[in-house]
Chains A and B, each alone.
Chain A
Amino acid sequence: MRVTVIDYKAGNLTSVLKALRHLGAETIVTDGDLAMVEAAERIVLPGVGHFAATERLDATGLTGAIRAAIARGVPFLGICVGMQWLYAGSSEAPRQPGLGYFSEKCARFAESSEKVPHVGWNSLEIRKGSRLLAGVEPGEFVYFTHSFKAPVTADAAAVTQYIEPFASAVERGNVMGVQFHPEKSGATGVKILRNFLSWEATGTK
């Protein structure tokens, strides 16, 4: 299967590409070729770094191409900042809109005695019949590194506790996001990526 990986010049794609290839995927990387998004079978938007970097998606026209691909039913997975981009925006870069597929906004962890960023292995509470998280048991651990997070809503596929509960995975139809790094989350992460690669539309486009 082929996966189009979006490069918006906000860090290193090597680990994500390596994990997808390990699972037998053919990866195509684009930083602005809209035809590659139009022909995409699956799309992964990785992301480390600052929400402001997603401005490049607007500047290159990728935002519109991704929106159209999602409307066609193409499975989409956003990782870390790539998940946050699915929301309306983030307080990390208030003037930079997200895709708005989920109407809420992302925000920084509240001030507390705990450290921010949230770095390390934390557990998942699986919320509903998530297809992305099929076969993942409640309490399995995944690797996080982030300071901003999405709120818990009806679309949350998993919730994690750190300072406050936040959406560690989100899923509605063919659109999925994970706040953690599946490519760095051992066997659990590999299982989640495999679920994404075997995700097939069920007629609800």
Chain B
Amino acid sequence: MITKRIIACLDVHDGRVVKGVKFVDIVDAGDPATQAARHAREGADEIVLLDITATHEGRATLLDTVRRTARELFVPFCVGGGIRTADDAAQVFDAGADKVSVNSAALADPTLIDAIGRSFGAQAVVVAIDAKRDPKAADPVRDAEVFVQGGRKPTGRRVVEWAREAEQRGAGEILLTSMDSDGTRAGFDCELTAAVSEAVRIPVIASGGAGTVKHFADVFGRGKADAALAASIFHFGVSSARSLKEELAKAGVSVRLPC
């Protein structure tokens, strides 16, 4: 039976894992390679590394970080942040990533999705979407607005419509972050996640708002998510992917329990 995936997310700045709320009060949380290996050992189904450095000089550091992290990692490994061209993606794949996540650059030039998919396969392209409900829209959920640049800049695009375009262009998965829920620890936006998940045939990874085990059970059930991103939950209460999954299994969610 296919299982729901718990994906550990590492925010990386200048080659170090950082934690902080909304990029404020950033504190050092360790070495990415060590952290990724620990999460994989403890049962994370996948590792996402998001580079928040986003400077030109940071690219070399990022590639080195990806190389070191990938070396001993035998679960799927996705890298995002600052990937603007198919060449950028090729370098990240060459360093050992299995997937890349693209966001702002794909909105600026949607053919980036086609280009990466053509060279590396759809399974290697994750389109990350940051969306915020639009109370003025006819359907505030399906017509949630897509934002770029870390949620600072509105695009005028609607979430369901953009997710469908991404799928048609050859995206393999959607990583959907609810800006309304992000950082609240009050739960995922299940309605938003379900609206996108029902609109596409590719997997949807839910992100933003996790605070308790029940939030994960909700987004896998009501939210129809195929996977969920766990970042700060490992810093607040739930100690590891293993304990999260053990609790989810008790709640009837199909998960891969680590050996």
A residues adjacent to B (C-beta < 8 A): 10-12, 14-15, 18-19, 22, 48-50, 115-123, 140-141, 143, 145-146, 161-162, 181, 183-190
The closest CB in chain A to the CB of B5 belongs to A120
B123 in complex: contacting residue of A22, A115, A145, CB < 8 Å: A145
B24 within 8 A of A: no
Alpha-carbon separation in the docked complex, A22 to B41 (Å): 17
B3 within 8 A of A: yes
Q: How many B residues are at the interface, by size bracket?
A: 20 to 34
B residues adjacent to A (C-beta < 8 A): 1-5, 40, 45, 70-72, 74-76, 93-96, 98, 119-124, 172-173, 201-203, 226-227, 256, 258-259
Name A's interface SS: mixed
The closest CB in chain B to the CB of A19 belongs to B74
Alpha-carbon separation in the docked complex, A183 to B124 (Å): 15
List, in ascending order, chain A residues with CB within 8 A of B93's CB: 12, 14
Interchain CB contact under 8 A, A187 and B259: yes
List, in ascending order, chain A residues with CB within 8 A of B123's CB: 48, 117, 119, 145-146
The closest CB in chain B to the CB of A190 belongs to B74
The 10 closest A-B pairs by CB, nearest first: A49-B121, A145-B123, A48-B121, A141-B256, A121-B256, A12-B93, A119-B203, A122-B2, A11-B121, A121-B3
The closest CB in chain B to the CB of A161 belongs to B1
Question: Can you name 8 A-B residue pairings with CB atoms under 8 Å?
Answer: A14-B70, A15-B98, A50-B121, A116-B201, A122-B2, A122-B3, A184-B76, A187-B74
Known: A161-B1, A186-B40. A119 touches B121 (CB 8 A): no
Interchain CB contact under 8 A, B75 and A123: no
B5 in complex: contacting residue of A11, A12, A115, A121, CB < 8 Å: A121
Alpha-carbon separation in the docked complex, A121 to B241 (Å): 15
Interchain CB contact under 8 A, B172 and A118: no
Alpha-carbon separation in the docked complex, A146 to B5 (Å): 16
Taking the closest CB of chain A, its distance from the CB of B168, in whole angstroms, is 14
Known: A11-B121, A18-B70. A143 touches B3 (CB 8 A): no
Taking the closest CB of chain A, its distance from the CB of B117, in whole angstroms, is 9
Known: A120-B45, A189-B74. A115 touches B1 (CB 8 A): no
Interchain CB contact under 8 A, B71 and A119: no
List, in ascending order, chain B residues with CB within 8 A of A118's CB: 2
Known: A143-B76, A184-B98, A190-B74. A119 touches B3 (CB 8 A): no
